[in-house]
Amino acid sequence: MAVSPVEIRAGVLAFGNRTLWSGLDLEVEPGEFLAVLGPNGSGKTSLLKVLLGLQRLSGGSVRIVGRAPGSANARIGYIPQQRAMQDGLMLRGVDLVGLGLDGHRWGTGLFGIRERRRRVAEAIEAVGAGAYANAPVGRLSGGEQQRLRVAQALVGEPDVLFCDEPLLSLDIAHQRAVSELIDRRRREAGTAVLFVTHELNPVLSYVDRVLYLVNGQFRIGKPDDVMNSKTLSELYRAKVEVLRIGGQIHIAGARSAVCEDEPHHLDDHEYQHQRV
């Protein structure tokens, strides 16, 4: 039987007496696109850290391509939560993207160097970053830096791709381009994708399943099985209404219970308009 790219059994993560989640059983299939949602502080980034081997589980077990996280057998792509790079950082975009190839061996000969350059150029082209790839990354805009991070995560042809809010600070056109790139990667190469986001709609058509974390509780299932009024009201322990408008999901009501910064949430005023 094929080894699952990502497998968590009875996972528990607690800090002090605060349990972020427990009893988490999660298996992500090759080529699957899993969106991870939840309000601030619900443990989304911590989950990615567990999967990267940067954070130990408090209980249960985790395997990445059959091994402990952090071991070198799997090719992992990681788009970290965005932090502005230092102004004075002189590293160029091509160098940043090239770091995603470290650990790949094509030999040190001319072929190896050429192949490396070719792959870096291809990854830069794919995110539309060619115009500034030779500039120091510290001088680039947030969105330009983000596109280079995406190229860095994809250049190594990962088996598993962990994305932490990868669309932040991208304009709509580049949100679409990056989402399509990630989707193509998982379709063509079977890369398993874990995609942490506050905004589901830009990737809704690609998402196979959703993991929704709230206050130590969670639900996993197809978008329609999780993103509905009943399930979210149970999770938030408050009345939450989920509306499907024009193929998009919007959440209304119980604003105080639902994370304020989730862009797919309508405010009550907007909601009233939608109902008339």
Ligand X SMILES: Nc1ncnc2c1ncn2[C@@H]1O[C@H](COP(=O)(O)OP(=O)(O)OP(=O)(O)O)[C@@H](O)[C@H]1O
Q: How far is CA 96 from CA 79, 86, 148, in A?
A: 12, 13, 7
CB of 4 to ligand X, least distance (A): 23
- With both helix axes pointing from N to C terminus, report the angle between 142-155 and 172-189 in degrees, rounded to the nearest 10: 0
Q: Which two tokens stand for residue 16?
A: 């002090």
Question: Which residues of the chain form beta strands (DSSP E)?
Answer: 6-15, 18-28, 33-37, 59-64, 76-79, 160-164, 192-196, 209-214, 217-221, 241-245, 248-252
CB of 132 to ligand X, least distance (A): 28
| Sign (positive or negative) of CA dihedral 89, 163, 64, 181 | negative
* Residue closer to ligand X (CB basis): 132 or 162: 162
CB of 21 to ligand X, least distance (A): 10
Closest by CA to 210, choosing from 193, 191, 227, 185, is 227
CB of 255 to ligand X, least distance (A): 17
* Footprint of ligand X (CB under 6 A): 15, 20, 38, 40-46
* Contact in structure between 253 and 268 (CB atoms under 8 Å): yes
CB of 199 to ligand X, least distance (A): 11
* Residue closer to ligand X (CB basis): 41 or 112: 41
CA distance 53 to 13: 13
CB of 261 to ligand X, least distance (A): 8
* Residue closer to ligand X (CB basis): 139 or 255: 255
CA distance 198 to 39: 8
> Three-state DSSP class for 224?
helix
* Residue closer to ligand X (CB basis): 15 or 106: 15
CB of 19 to ligand X, least distance (A): 10
* Residue closer to ligand X (CB basis): 20 or 94: 20
* Residue closer to ligand X (CB basis): 14 or 135: 14
What contacts 62, CB < 8 A, 6 or more positions away?
A: 7, 8, 9, 11, 50, 51, 68, 69
* Residue closer to ligand X (CB basis): 20 or 34: 20
* Contact in structure between 5 and 160 (CB atoms under 8 Å): yes
CA distance 186 to 5: 12
CB of 43 to ligand X, least distance (A): 4
* Residue closer to ligand X (CB basis): 54 or 113: 54
